[in-house]
Amino acid sequence: MALTRESRRTVFRQIAQRSYADWPTYESCPLFDRSSLPALESDVRLVAETWFQHDDHNSVDQFVHAVPLTYVQFDAHDRYAGSTSYEMETLFRLFLLKECHGWDHETALVEYLTKHPDLCDQLGLESVPNQSTLWRSWHHRFTADLQDTVETTARTILIKAQNAGVTVPRDPEHQSRRYENGSTESDPDDQTVLEQAETVTEQVSCVALPAFSLDRGEGCEIHENAYWDLQTYLGLRENLAVNEGARSFIHESNRERTPLGHAHREHIRDLTIEQIREMYRQAIGRLLGRVAETEEFLRAGIVAIDVTEDDPFTGDRTDHEDEIIGTKEKTDEYAYQWATVQLVGNAVPIVLDARPVRKGDTRKEIVEDLLDSAEAAVHVDNVLMDREFDSQHILEMLSQRGLSYVVPKRMQTSEKAQAKRLLKRNKDRYETDRKLHLGDNEWHSTTLIYRRKENSEHTDHQQYSVFMTNRNSGLLTEYGYRWEIESGYKSIKRFMGATTSKHFGLRFFYFAFACLLYSVWRAVDLLVQVQLTGEYEHSPIVTADNTLTLVKKKTGIG
């Protein structure tokens, strides 16, 4: 089917109706203007994602001539000063076409245009440029940054088209040619990493952060982004409370007006738990959409669900007993508790959702709630949980969802007896099937795996751990991935601002925003690694402090 005015109208109507989808980016994000190349890349990404979902839009060439570019100011990236035969917008489309087809030389582009006069008319070409003109335009007129944007944008178009089932001229590469061909070092140096991280952080922060909104109405003197800037600023300093942070923020921010501490608190308190969670899920959805363009991001994978606790609460709990509920280790201390579901394993460890834990919340309710969010965002195969989720009803629910699981079992009398027998026989591993009673003559079938701990300090049955799984024993090796969620919690708490407030919504917001900053960091690291090396190694090459500092810089601070 041919491109029509109605099909175009349908696409942009859908973009306008998408929740938290802002196009063009420069109008919605103060970091960008019409000359910003990251904004251009973001816009093409959004339009392409929607464009190729339309039944009539099945041609990459068609998209290249139809994608809106008239608002883009290319002058800042044009190294020619005098009059020229071809406008930068037209050349951008031509080189985009060349990159989408993967032609190494301009001659192939010239031959293609000559054979397709209709395409020349659509591109506004009165005549086909010769090879030397195109060569000079690319090598002498386009800046290196604009060349990178052509390559990045072409990959985006190919990936979005391929995802929608549209035939593409070539398989998209997942690494910039400039870095692929221009570096002979096995590992990028620190300066290269930081330069690339700055560009990527700029893109990612403008993808995720706009999902948060205070709904303050019109005519406010202080821009809403200043509140998120301040919250990010609090995450940059350990144990920095909002009143002190707001005073320092006045001097470090380049904004004319910044919020005071009490105003910041009041606006955050106005947000409900559900509003915070919905904004968080929207932000993570946008973040996943950005990293999903890379071949190295694994949408299908393993998630870990766990509960963490805030610092012990030492004040008066009166009227807050349902919220300041204690610690997981059942000590005499009290603390706020938060539950999360996070990608683990070979995937980038993004926190998919977070929720508070109140007195009376069952572990089954928590798991179901978080899994609903996770499965709406990514394809989940396996679920890893700690022994506090050792419940036959939780395990049955996971099996009914078609999910596999690994959960440690608390050792009761029968498990202790079996462990003693294994110790006596000097066996390191043992498997047995077990039926767990659900009530009303219903049972959940699982497999118990006894595994001897290496270098255990115990001399009795405590040398063994017992795990439950509904798959084969090979899945047990994946349980080691669960440690990543504990490691993640340490970084998340590092990103939290300090507060002594007992307001439950405010406390949860601080935790959720810290989860977002952590996820932004890990997303930035993945994208930088792929851009510079074409691969993703789980160990970050971009530090958390690097990312937070760049987010701070890109959101108007410092």
Mean of all residue pLDDT scores within the chain? 83
Say if residue 175's pLDDT is above 50: no
Q: pLDDT category, 178, cuts 50, 70, 90? A: very low
pLDDT score at 252: 66
83-113 pLDDT per residue, tens: 788 999 999 999 999 999 999 999 999 999 9
pLDDT score at 217: 58
- From the list 315, 50, 274, 201, the residue with the least C-alpha distance to 543 is 201
CB 72 within 8 A of CB 66: no
387-409 pLDDT per residue, tens: 889 999 999 999 999 999 999 99
Q: pLDDT category, 556, cuts 50, 70, 90? A: very low
Percent of the chain with pLDDT over 70: 87
Task: Report, as an integer, the average pLDDT of 374-385.
Answer: 91
Percent of the chain with pLDDT over 90: 37
| CA–CA dist 404, 509 (Å, integer) | 32
Long-range contacts of 175-182 (CB under 8 A, 24+ apart): 175/530, 175/531, 175/532, 175/533, 175/534, 176/148, 176/151, 176/152, 176/531, 177/151, 178/144, 178/147, 178/148, 178/151, 179/531, 179/532, 179/533, 180/534
pLDDT score at 182: 42
Q: pLDDT category, 279, cuts 50, 70, 90? A: confident
pLDDT score at 345: 83
Q: pLDDT category, 554, cuts 50, 70, 90? A: low
pLDDT score at 250: 73
199-213 pLDDT per residue, tens: 777 777 777 777 777
Task: Report, as an integer, the average pLDDT of 35-55.
Answer: 86
Opening angle at CA 384, ends 381 and 387, nearest 5: 150
Of 555 and 172, more confident? 172
Helices (H), 52-87: 60-66
Task: Report, as an integer, the average pLDDT of 59-71.
Answer: 92
pLDDT score at 286: 85
| CA–CA dist 264, 273 (Å, integer) | 17
Q: pLDDT category, 181, cuts 50, 70, 90? A: very low
pLDDT score at 185: 45
Say if residue 494's pLDDT is above 90: no
220-250 pLDDT per residue, tens: 667 666 776 777 777 666 666 777 777 777 7
Task: Report, as an integer, the average pLDDT of 120-137.
Answer: 91
- C-alpha dihedral sign at 507, 509, 513, 516: positive
Say if residue 174's pLDDT is above 60: no
The Cβ of residue 310 has, within 10 Å, a number of other Cβ atoms equal to 19
pLDDT score at 221: 66
